[in-house]
Each structure stands twice: as C-alpha cells, then as structure tokens.
Structure 1
C-alpha cells in the first residue's frame, strides 16, 4: 500500500508541474480549498498526499484532477502506455509559476469584452517595454 501512495504522490507532483504549479503543499492547499465545495482539508492532509503518506478520497481526487487538467483515473492509478488516447498537454513556459496560472485562469473566466480589454492592455504594456 505504501508503494501505491508513493506512486500517487509522484503522479500528483508531475501533474502539478505540468499544470504550471510548484509542487508544494501550500500551493495545493490554497488551490484545492478554493475549489473544493466540502469541508476544507488541512495543510497536513495535503502534505501527506504530496509525500506519499495518504491517498485522497474520490471526491477530493476529482477536484484535484479538474484543477490540474488530468483524468482522475490517471492521477490515481497512472496510465498504461497502450491505453493512453489523449494528447499530452504542453508544460507551462519556464518561469511561469502558480501566480501566472491563477492570472490566466481568472482571465479565462472574464466575459469576452473584458478579455478584449485585457488583451489590449497587455499588448500596450508589452510594446512599451
């Protein structure tokens, strides 16, 4: 069972890195609790997930998978090479951390007119740099 938890932790760390997040307990703690609709999990619980000391319950696994853009089954059990169908997600550029990912996610939640306005602002700022 310990090996199973350690492998899960490795997949969780990898999924966080691929999604542009630092694989640190404090990062996952804040991300998870901001999205999870049940009772908040503790910092210690999240730390145990990342260190391979515990496995999350299914409802929590689903939230983590949604946050990180992976399938819950793949996060929990891994993916066998022959059963993988989805395209690999490109990693975030070097230097892009969790703050940048949060900004992009907030941008994607904006209505189209506000997105356009933000796009114009970013363009103007990048031209003046």
Structure 2
C-alpha cells in the first residue's frame, strides 16, 4: 500500500506542475477548498496526499482531477481507462503560475454582473498602458 501512496503522490505533484501550480500542501489546500463543496480539508490532509501518506476519497479525487485537468482514473492509478473517449484539455501557457490561476479561478466563480465589471476594469487598465 505504501508504494501505491507514493506513486499517487508523484502523480499528484506532477499534475499540479503541469497545471501551473507549485506542488506544495498550502497551494493544494487553497486550491482544493475553493472548489470542493463538502467539508474543507486541512493543510495536514493535503500534506499527507503530497507526502505519500494518504490517498483521497473518490469525491475528493474527482475534484482534484477536474482542477488539474486529468482523468480521475489516471490520477489515482496512473493509467487511463481504455473505453473512455474524452476531449483533450487545454494547458496553460508557460509563465502562468499559481497566483494567476487562482485569480482566474476566482474570476470564474463571480456572478455575470461582477465579471462584466472586472472585464471593464481590465480593459481600462490595458488601454491606459
């Protein structure tokens, strides 16, 4: 079981890096809890996931996979299921770090009216540059 946890933690860290996040427990803690609708997890829990001490339950694994743009099965077991057809997920451009991703994620959680305001602000700032 220990080897299985170690492989999972490596896949999780790799998926975080590929998605533009630093594979650190505090980064994962903030990212996960802003998207999970259940009871929030602690930094200790995310540390255990990244430190090969635990594997999350299926509902949490699904949220992690969605956030990181990987298939849940691949994140958990390392191989993609053979019978599933899926569209390729877009990757973030080089240089987009966790701060920018968190900002974009927060923006996407806003209601439409607030998104419009943010869009106007960004346009005004880019026009004045």
Q: TM-score range by the shorter chain?
A: 0.7 to 0.9
Residue 44 of structure 1: how far off its partner (Å): 1.8
Q: Which moved more, 1:66-75 or 1:115-124?
A: 115-124
Check whether the contact 1:9–1:49 (CA below 8 A) recurs between aligned residues: yes
1:107 maps to which residue? 107
Q: Which runs of 5+ in 2 are unaligned?
A: none
CA distance in 2 between counterparts of 1:44 and 1:81 reads: 31
1:6 maps to which residue? 6
CA distance in 1 between counterparts of 2:18 and 2:68 reads: 8
CA distance in 1 between counterparts of 2:110 and 2:24 reads: 28
2:128 maps to which residue? 128
Check whether the contact 2:73–2:80 (CA below 8 A) recurs between aligned residues: no
Q: Which runs of 5+ in 1 are unaligned?
A: none
Residue 29 of structure 1: how far off its partner (Å): 1.1
Map 1:1-129 → 2, pairs under 5 A: 1-80=1-80, 85-112=85-112, 114-129=114-129
Q: TM-score, normalised by structure 1?
A: 0.77
Structure with the larger RCO, 1 or 2 (CA within 8 Å, 6+ apart) = 1
CA distance in 2 between counterparts of 1:128 and 1:122 reads: 10
Count of aligned residue pairs for this structure pair: 129
> Is the alpha carbon distance of 1:71 and 1:82 closer, same or farther for their aligned partners in structure 2, counting shifts above 3 Å?
closer
CA-based RMSD: 2.5
Q: TM-score, normalised by structure 2?
A: 0.77
Provide runs of 4+ in structure 1 moved above 6 Å: 81-84
> Is the alpha carbon distance of 1:38 and 1:90 closer, same or farther for their aligned partners in structure 2, counting shifts above 3 Å?
closer
